[in-house]
Chain A
């Protein structure tokens, strides 16, 4: 059973790396948010994988459902923010946000 856990944690770490790489190098705001989504997939995979390996799948499911609800609410708020940023700056470039004054 430990091997299964190892497999899930290995792939969760790979997903985490992809998400963090995206957050570090991309400039488009929507791309950055896709990176956050990838990281959240890694987290739900790690939660359910651990629950499956440790035979506590019900608690893991309850936690992951909560996590997905939080994720959806975060996505809605962040995308609304991105649209507002686009209306103000006419661009999705994250570097332009650093140049805003006032």
Chain B
């Protein structure tokens, strides 16, 4: 992983809620334009790590985050920049889709509108562009003014992806994005990620081993708040170094 340019560099990251440590001394480099999978059993801190990256951890009471997270040269944990601007550099796809309480068109254009882009022609173009990007345009083009909740859950998840992409992020954070979806919708999302990684740095959290095998370029294996092993997918699956990793790959945790 070291030969490539690291997009995100995490240095000595510790995170705790109250006195309970959630993440312990995380050191990690995430290469740009690759799909990095964070793998691990439930409750190992994968989601928390993701939330540290876009500083959603700011929104939790009693949460303390120590260490540094560099995106490029900027330490986003200690920057003077507005946290909303940091979040706009990353699109988040959560475990289940949370469409905003508005119509399909407004869902996709929301991020642009809160950034002050209000020209209808511009928004029309962008909405179509991003809906096409997630292969949703054909399905919704004549019902853009209908509520987003009228879509199926798989469509909603793709809509949420389009909504996240529309703020023009460099990074996509995906937190078990297929866990609420049927197999066909899951496959659609996975395929999309495979396409998108040439343009974005993607970090996908999952506990599904097979999903990691299918799409990962790099794998980070976490257990109980610590990183056990990280490396290229090939090396990780074929020749794991750590004992815990071997057990996990054999299915000992599931």
Chains A and B bind each other: no
Interface of B toward A, CB cutoff 8 Å: none
Residue positions of A touching B, CB distance < 8 A: none
